[in-house]
Amino acid sequence: MISTIENYVDNAKALVIFAHGAGADKSHEFMETVSHGLNQQQISVLRFNFYYMDERIEKGNRRPPDRMPKLLDCFKTVLAEVETSLPIFLAGKSMGGRVAATLAADENISAKAVMCLGYPFHPQKKPEKLRLEPLQETNKPILILQGTRDALGNEEEITGYQISDKCKCIFFSDGDHNLKPRVKSGFTHSEHISGAINDMVKFINKINR
């Protein structure tokens, strides 16, 4: 059974199914903050743990993430169990965003669009190992919210990639993989996360028109 957290609101205009990154589960502070920020703008959120994460928590080990097919299977299972008349959007932090974007190539998926917070364009310090296929093969709009100095894909690198016109990338000044800027930048982490939430809401509103 997949463990979930349901942050549902009355009179919601959409449901976001939100997947965690490789190292932190559905209850991580970043996941909490984004979910509650969306709730405040009349968007319901469903968070879940991938299978490996529940096992990691249960056994107290550092088991690595599953391979993509198993991650996709888990996400599809969550989708299949959702009962809603609301427009569905897929979202994910880092690895979760990559899984969500990969699902976007599946014509049988009912979601309207995808939102990625810190897309892992490549592993850290391995810029040659690109993960562009989901962004090239998507059948749905994808919003990417990325720090300009993200170690898994910075602004300078991304502008040189060939990805689908369905993808829109918004950059956050001096942000790292968690959108966190350095103190000297003059920006704050909370400002960037609030900005990302607002961009997600604008994206949802535009798609829903």
The predicted-structure confidence for 162-185, as pLDDT tens digits, reads as follows 999 999 999 999 999 999 999 999
128 token code pair: 């040659």
Look at the block and give the residue holding tokens 């998507």: 138
Distance, in Å, from the CA atom of 3 to the CA atom of 144, rounded to the nearest integer, reads 26
* Predicted pLDDT of residue 89: 98
CB 138 within 8 A of CB 165: no
CB 71 within 8 A of CB 120: no
Distance, in Å, from the CA atom of 21 to the CA atom of 99, rounded to the nearest integer, reads 10
Residue 45 gets which letter from DSSP?
E
User: Kindly report the CA angle at 84 between 83 and 88, in degrees rounded to 5?
Assistant: 115
First-to-last alpha carbon distance for the chain, in angstroms, is 35
pLDDT (mean) for 66-95 = 97
Q: Between 3.40.630.30, 1.10.3720.10, 3.30.930.10, 3.40.50.1820, what CATH number should domain 4-208 receive? A: 3.40.50.1820
Helical ranges in the chain per DSSP H: 29-39, 51-59, 68-81, 95-103, 133-137, 155-158, 189-208
- 3-class DSSP state for residue 65? coil
* Predicted pLDDT of residue 1: 78
Residues in the chain: 209
Residue 6: band (very low, low, confident or very high) from pLDDT cuts 50, 70, 90: very high
For 17-73, the three-class secondary structure string (H helix, E strand, C coil) is EEECCCCCCCCCHHHHHHHHHHHCCCCEEEEECCHHHHHHHHHCCCCCCCCHHHHHH
Position 62 pLDDT exceeds 90: no
Would the pTM of this model clear 0.75, i.e. be above it?
Answer: yes
Residue 107: band (very low, low, confident or very high) from pLDDT cuts 50, 70, 90: confident
Would strands 44-48 and 4-7 be described as parallel, antiparallel, or unpaired?
antiparallel
Distance, in Å, from the CA atom of 70 to the CA atom of 154, rounded to the nearest integer, reads 28
207 token code pair: 């798609």
**Beta-ladder partners of 62:** none
Domain boundaries, the chain: 4-208
